[in-house]
Amino acid sequence: MINVIQDGWGWIEVICGSMFSGKSEELIRRLRRAQIARQDVAIFKPAIDDRYSSDHIVSHSEQRLRSIAVTHAQEILEMAGDAHVVGIDEGQFFGMELVEVCNELANKGKRVIVAGLDQDYRGIPFEPIPQLLAIAESITKTLAICMVCGAPANRTQRLSSDSERVVVGAKDVYEARCRKCFQPPEQESASPSG
Ligand code: ZN
């Protein structure tokens, strides 16, 4: 049971979209606002994501904030401490465990902000983001711009045909695509038609 006056009000915010849609930028923007208001902020990212920096979260536009790299979502619970605001980047890499962790943090009165991909490179909902969307108080869907036709884009096209490959944040391996230009891997071909 939350004591609102003593513990503040907890809730969950999700920022989701395709790659190149500015999720991390938006996460960083919100966390910075909280820091400016002198709120205690704890920031986490999965240890798998070591692009650019291992102790910062970094957006494609090079904005950065100090963060803690963790392997399991459970570690976030243990390390969040007295933070008022808990930021989590690349939430899709934490698996379903993240849902309960976010719930617990919010129930303790913390503002939890999660950024992550809502679809994988096949256009399939990427757990646990869909589940987080269902329980979140606030949802922001960020849109990229389709790199083929310039329309608003919410899909991530993998340009490599290697389905085994795990590539995090590699600009030359992925493109943002709109619904019309996105091609699921089964029907992969060099140039999208239409
Ligand atoms: Zn397009």
Distance 160 CA to ligand 1 centre (A): 18
- Asked whether residue 126 carries a pLDDT value surpassing 60, the answer given is yes
What are the φ and ψ backbone dihedral angles of 4, each rounded to 5 degrees? -60, -40
User: What's the pLDDT tens digit per position in 142-168?
Assistant: 999 999 999 999 999 998 776 644 556
Among 13, 25, 26, 90, the one annotated catalytic:
90
Q: Is 62 exposed, middle or buried (0-12, 13-18, 19+ CB in 10 A)?
A: exposed
Catalytic (active site) residue 90:
yes
SS3 of 115, please?
strand
Distance 177 CA to ligand 1 centre (A): 5
Q: What is the pLDDT of residue 162?
A: 62
Distance 18 CA to ligand 1 centre (A): 13
- Asked whether residue 87 carries a pLDDT value surpassing 70, the answer given is yes
Cβ contacts of 39 within 8 Å, gap of 6 or more: 84, 85
Distance 19 CA to ligand 1 centre (A): 14
- Asked whether residue 169 carries a pLDDT value surpassing 90, the answer given is no
- What residue ranges define each of the domains in the chain, with the CATH number in brackets? 11-144 (3.40.50.300)
pTM of this structure: 0.84
| Angstrom distance (rounded) from CA 118 to CA 131 | 10
